[in-house]
Amino acid sequence: MAAPTPTPTPTPTPTAAPTMWIGRVSRPSEDRQRTVLVRTDGRAPQPDDLVEEIADPFAAALPSAGGDAPSDALVLAQQASPIAGGVRAPIGELILRPPLRPGKIICVGRNYAAHAREMGNEVPTEPLLFFKPSSAALAAGAPIDLPRGYERIDMEAELVVVIGRAGYRLAREQALDVVAGYTIGNDVSCRDLQKKDGQWTRAKGFDGFAPLGPFVRLHPSGAPLAEDVRIRGSVDGTIRQEGRVGDMIFDVAAILAYVSACMTLEPGDLVFTGTPDGVWPLHPGETTTVTAVGFDLGELSTPLR
Ligand code: MN
């Protein structure tokens, strides 16, 4: 009698750490936007993943929300219970909205040396800051109606820091404590107006010029991202931009310390951290895609019309 075939020892499945994601969705039949929570095993949410509606943790963490103590959107999200009668459905059955209602959108210009050089600028000795209006926020998958009559509108693939709790005059060593998580963004920029106006308000501020998401990945308070995480920008599937987070001139902690020396960072504020070189001119009919490599933040695709 032949010896029984030994039962193979099951290879332990590598269990990625559970990850929580915050987004906003609408039911197909309504305009109302609802904040939702998604849990995954570390990968970005997929169409089959179930979302559950929760109270907006960023709004609830604002000092003006009237809580007993300064609160932290990261903690509120981690402790959130689904709203009774709220949305509970697979992502694929819902309309994605920008993953939060942004407060300030603070942006850093020229934060990668190769990008500063490609634009003919000096490498800055301190962060160069500007704002985008919150009305520029655009959901993943939603189209931009490119304004007509300009020579050059570029994509800028960027890592976006999501602020979870208020902070003012933060020391660099404590600055990451106010971070709730990360997402990716596209700092769409009209070069004609950037040169003509001097101020960048119009160049960076058209409706749709801040594609964002699809979700905010919550991240442990105070923990930096790995320096090898790369931010990648593609147009119609061809990679045009890629930069390492570790190659930023000013890292996330330095940026948050610098910004908060001037203004209070508040829950729901976003910080666009600058773009690698390879910024690329855009045309109607193309599709831009921004992803992070080595730290899954999902895929931010934007059709251009
Ligand atoms: Mn930018």
- Report the separation in Å between the CA atom of 10 and the middle of ligand 1, taken as the mean of its atom positions: 48
The CA 274 to ligand 1 mean position distance, Å, reads 5
282 CA → ligand 1 middle, Å: 15
pLDDT digits (tens, 9 = 90+) for 243-302: 999 999 999 999 999 999 999 999 999 999 999 988 889 999 999 999 999 999 999 999
**How big is the CA angle at 29 (ends 302 and 59), to the nearest 5 degrees?**
70
What pLDDT, on the 0 to 100 scale, is given for residue 122?
85
d(CA 41, ligand 1 centre) in Å: 31
The CATH code of the domain at 105-303 is 3.90.850.10
Its pTM stands at: 0.93
**C-alpha to C-alpha distances, 182 to 84, 86, 268, nearest whole angstrom:** 28, 25, 12
How many angstroms is it from 272 CA to the middle of ligand 1?
A: 7
* Residue 32 per-residue DSSP state: -
Q: What confidence tens digit (pLDDT) does each residue in 38-53 have?
A: 999 999 999 999 999 9
- b/e for 203-231, b at 16 or more Cβ within 10 A? bbbbebbbbbbbbbbbbebeeebeeebbb
- How far out from the chain centre does Cα 181 lie? 8
Q: Say how many Å lie between the CA of residue 3 and the centre of ligand 1.
A: 66
Please give the Cα distance from 275 to 155 (Å, whole number).
9
How many whole angstroms from 158 Cα to the centroid of ligand 1?
A: 7
Question: Range with the lowest mean pLDDT among 21-35, 65-79, 150-164, 270-284?
Answer: 65-79
Q: Say yes or no to pLDDT of 185 above 80.
A: yes
> How far does residue 275's CA lie from ligand 1's centre (Å)?
5
What is the pLDDT averaged over residues 188-205?
96
Model confidence at 163: pLDDT above 70: yes
Q: What is the pLDDT of residues 92-138, one digit of tens each?
A: 999 999 999 999 999 999 899 888 888 888 888 999 999 999 999 99
Helix residue spans in 158-269 (DSSP H): 191-197, 201-205, 252-260
For residue 174, report the distance from its CA to the centre of ligand 1, in Å.
25
Identify the pLDDT of residue 114: 87
**Residues shown for the chain:** 305
Determine the pLDDT at residue 70: 62
Q: Which amino acid is at 155?
A: M
Tens digit of each residue's pLDDT (9 = 90 or more) over 199-255: 999 999 999 999 999 999 999 999 999 999 999 999 999 999 999 999 999 999 999
Q: How far is the CA of 230 from the centre of ligand 1 (A)?
A: 16
> What's the 96 CA to ligand 1 centre distance in angstroms?
24
Q: What separation in Å is there between the alpha carbon of 191 and the centre of ligand 1?
A: 12
108 Cα: distance to centroid of ligand 1 (angstroms): 6
CB count, 10 Å around CB of 291? 21
What span, in angstroms and rounded, lies between the C-alpha atoms of 209 and 53?
27
Q: Where are the domains of the chain?
A: 19-97, 105-303
